Amino acid sequence: MAANFHVDTGTGTNGELCLKLCGDFDGTSALELANLLNIYAKSNHRIFLDTSGLKEVWAFGRAVFEDECEGLQEVRSGATELVVTGEKLIL
């Protein structure tokens, strides 16, 4: 994981969650985020991923995250919606 990567969580209402991504987003960071989503997607119907705190998004990190999201059952089935906000693209 990028040494400076971390995720701040904020709760919303009605089964919504906001995850603010901070630091650099590399392959290991992508795996960490996917693991968090696997946990949180089971109890939240919408998850906001705020990328405004990211400094650098590495192409490999983006590719790893896209691959991992395909494996998330709640996301694939539509039970959980991912909403990406901020200027940095991770999907």
pLDDT tens-digit map of 36-60: 999 999 889 999 999 999 999 999 9
Cα distance between residue 56 and residue 59, in whole Å = 10
pLDDT tens-digit readout, 19-30: 999 999 999 999
Q: Region 63-84: what's the mean pLDDT? A: 89
What is the per-residue pLDDT for 37?
Answer: 95
What is the per-residue pLDDT for 1?
Answer: 54
pTM, 2 dp: 0.89
Burial class (CB in 10 A: 0-12, 13-18, 19+), 83: exposed
Domains of the chain by start residue, with CATH? 6-85 (3.30.750.24)
**Contact present, 46 and 16 (Cβ < 8 Å):** yes
58: left (phi over 0), alpha (psi -120 to 50) or beta: beta
